[in-house]
Amino acid sequence: MAQNKSLSILEVISKSSNFLEKKGVPNHKTDAEWLIAHALGCKRMDLYLRFGEILDESILGKIRALVVKRGERIPLQHILGSVHFAGIRLKCDDRALVPRHETEFLVDYVSQRITTSFSGKIADLGCGGGAIILALCNQLPDAVGVGFDKSDCALRLAKENCHSSGLSSRVSLQNFDWLENDFLPESFDLIISNPPYLSKEEWLSTEPEVKSYDPIAALVAQQNGLSDIRKIVSIAQNSLSKGGYLALEFGQKQAEHLEELLAKEFVFEIIRDQLLVRRFVFATKI
Ligand code: GLN
* Separation of alpha carbons 223 and 16, rounded Å: 42
Give the per-residue pLDDT at 3: 56
Which atom of ligand 1 is least distant from the CA of 195? 9
Cα of 219 from ligand 1 centre, angstroms: 6
Burial of 54 (0-12, 13-18, 19+ CB in 10 A): exposed
Cα of 268 from ligand 1 centre, angstroms: 22
Using only C-alpha atoms, the chain has a radius of gyration, in whole angstroms, of 21
Q: Is 147 in the pocket of ligand 1 (CB under 6 A)?
A: no
* Separation of alpha carbons 111 and 118, rounded Å: 9
Cα of 211 from ligand 1 centre, angstroms: 11
Which atom of ligand 1 is least distant from the CA of 100? 1
* Separation of alpha carbons 17 and 25, rounded Å: 9
Q: Is 194 in the pocket of ligand 1 (CB under 6 A)?
A: yes
Strands 171-175 and 144-149: parallel
Give the per-residue pLDDT at 77: 98
Q: Is 100 in the pocket of ligand 1 (CB under 6 A)?
A: yes
pLDDT in tens, 121-138: 999 999 999 999 999 999
pLDDT in tens, 250-272: 999 999 999 999 999 999 999 99
* Separation of alpha carbons 248 and 221, rounded Å: 15
C-alpha closest to that of 83 among 72, 97, 70: 97
* Separation of alpha carbons 282 and 221, rounded Å: 21
pLDDT in tens, 201-260: 999 999 999 999 999 999 999 999 999 999 999 999 999 999 999 999 999 999 999 999
pLDDT in tens, 77-107: 999 999 999 999 999 999 999 999 999 999 9
Q: Is 233 in the pocket of ligand 1 (CB under 6 A)?
A: no
285 neighbors 266 (Cβ within 8 angstroms): yes
User: Which residues make Cβ contacts (< 8 Å) with residue 91, sequence separation at least 6?
Assistant: 81, 82, 129, 157, 160, 161, 164
pLDDT in tens, 58-84: 999 999 999 999 999 999 999 999 999
- In this model, does residue 150 exceed pLDDT 60? yes
User: Which of 149, 197, 207 should be mutated for ligand 1, with most atoms under 8 A from CB?
Assistant: 197
DSSP H/E element including 134: helix 131-139
Q: pLDDT grade, residue 6 (50/70/90)?
A: confident
Q: Is 132 in the pocket of ligand 1 (CB under 6 A)?
A: no
